Amino acid sequence: MTSEKKGWKELPIAGVCWKPSTEYLTGDWRTYKPVRNPEKCNMCLICHIYCPDGAIPFNKETGEISFDYDHCKGCGICANECPKKAIEMVLE
Amino acid sequence: MVLAKQKLLAMSGDEAVAYAVKQSKVDVVAAYPITPQTIIVEKFSEYVHDGEVDTEFICTESEHSALTACLTASATGARTFTASASAGLALMHEILYVTSGCRAPVVMAITNRALSAPINIHCDHADSMVERDACWIQIYVENSQEAYDSTIQAFRIAEHPDILLPVMVMLDAFFLSHTLENVNVLPDEAVQKFVGTRKLPFVITHENKRALFKLDPQNPMTMGPLDLYDYYFEHKRQQEEAMQKAPQVIQQIHDEYEKISGRRYGDGLIDPYRLEDAEIATICMGSTAGTVKTVVDQLRAEGVKAGVLRLRAYRPLPAQNIVDALKNVKAIAVVDRSHSFGALGSPMFHEMRHVFYDASTHPHLVNYIYGLGGRDMPPNLINEIYQDLLKIVRTNRAEKLVKFIGVRE
């Protein structure tokens, strides 16, 4: 929680979100973190598509993918779906 | 006062509600049938089939889904309606809180029916009484005319920008829902002008944009998300604030409605009858009030200073209006068609005793639980209550605080 908390007179009704959820750094829930082996990876981007948290951004300019460890919860879906077994889940 | 030209139709309470909904330009009706509510949505589905309304009618697989469909449609800015009773309302329990928490102004008619077991389809107030803390405005009606009038008013109350809370309109099972009555109906145009279109307030979204309070892909927003100990309490406090403002809004809309219909029900919150100089009085809700008024007239003819206070709004509870209306009364019987097992009397009794705790007058307050499962409440039983009250005044002592009346020993 980085913003000052608002009182009931100021807050939008019905719990309407008044700030983006990206302020919440949920990556600290993680036990295992995904690590990519660039030698095995063929850049198919299946991990990028499957990540339920949008935590594997693809940079169109550099053509690279990376892990956003501030939001990755370590679910392991990317490692499970990777057809090249290029992602390993490593204990933090 | 410009009264609209009305026509008199013979309708049951259920049909009167369906007729009011037909005239109120409702966008979405989602429903699941349950006796004795079924006729409301059945009749309305005929209006849809016959092209009399352009409402989207959704047949759902349960009451839980019916209310969810209304809530979510309402969140997109639509005007929505559903109806239920008894077990159906109980199945909606979870979504009742979601609806008020999402500030969705859904209107729902409840034909008050007993809860199982044993299974009973007839009238008592247990089903809606148990939902009194769900942050829904609750209006209990005395007859089918009032069911029609209150349904129309309910859309305006619910959608008022200061309120944005769902509203339940309660009518007694069978006594009203299935009994034919002469009902004055307004012309379609008069009702449509009165209810108008739904106005939406603005909220600030997570993108720091000022947007209309509705789900809209152009202005994405999240309603009712995870809200833990650091914010949930503030949102509940906002709901209480809306309830605090509700009495004034209910009265204002009730007064405005009188201008087109010529009808009013007390001050809109309470309906006092012959209370000005009354020494003894009952407090009750629903169709029983009609019989009680007849008994009061008989007692008055005998020179007994009797009166009755019918509560129209139960949430918000018009505490001060109740105290003011009964300020000269020496003994009061709270006559309730529901019970709180193991508590000291019925739910209404608890609240009426609470209302008088800080009042300048302290009348005797006793409780009569009656009519569970649709048991009749004939004039002779009501008269018995007034005779008890006379005795309490005479002896300045109530022998028994809580009584069950009309039950076989």
pLDDT score, position B285? 98
Please indicate whether, in this complex, the C-beta atoms of A6 and B234 are within 8 angstroms of each other: yes
| pLDDT range class, residue A54, cuts 50, 70, 90 | very high
- What is the tens place of the pLDDT at every residue in A2-24? 457 899 999 999 999 888 877 78
- What are the tens digits of pLDDT across the range B133-178? 999 999 999 999 999 999 999 999 999 999 999 999 999 999 999 9
pLDDT digits (tens, 9 = 90+) for B168-215: 999 999 999 999 999 999 999 999 999 999 999 999 998 889 999 999
Which ipTM score applies to this complex? 0.87
pLDDT in tens, B80-109: 999 999 999 999 999 999 999 999 999 999
Q: What angle do CA B127, B59, B9 make, to 5 degrees?
A: 70
Which CATH number fits the domain that encloses residue B358?
Answer: 3.40.50.920
Residue B220 is assigned to a structural domain of this protein: no
Q: How far is B233 from chain A (nearest CA, A)?
A: 8
Query: Pick from A5, A8, A19: which is nearest to B230 by CB?
Result: A5
Q: Are residues B297 and B148 in the same domain?
A: no
> Per-domain residue ranges for chain A?
22-91
Burial classification of residue B408, based on how many CB atoms lie within 10 Å of its CB (0-12 exposed, 13-18 middle, 19 or more buried):
exposed
Question: What is the DSSP-derived secondary structure letter of residue B114?
Answer: P
Residue B212 lies in a domain: no
Residue pLDDT, tens place only, B209-253: 999 999 999 999 999 998 999 999 999 999 999 999 999 999 999
Q: Which of B335, B330, B346 is nearest to B398 (CA)?
A: B330
Mutate to test the interface with B, among A17, A21, A22 (most CBs of B within 10 A): A17
CB distance A20–B231 less than 8 Å? no
Domain hosting B230: range is 7-201+225-261
- Cα distance between residue B275 and residue B321, in whole Å: 13
B18 and B115 share one domain: yes
Alpha-carbon radius of gyration of chain B: 21
The predicted model scores a pTM of 0.91
Structural domain total, chain B: 2
- CATH 1.10.357.10 assigned to domain A22-91? The reply is no
Compare all CA atoms of chain A with the CA of B214 and give the residue at the minimum distance: A16
For residues B322 and B278, state if they share a domain: yes
Residues B274 and B176 in one domain: no
Model confidence band, residue A26 (pLDDT cutoffs 50, 70, 90):
confident
- Are the beta carbons of B206 and A7 separated by less than 8 Å? no
Pair (B285, B147) in one structural domain: no
* Inter-chain CB proximity A11 and B234 less than 8 Å: yes
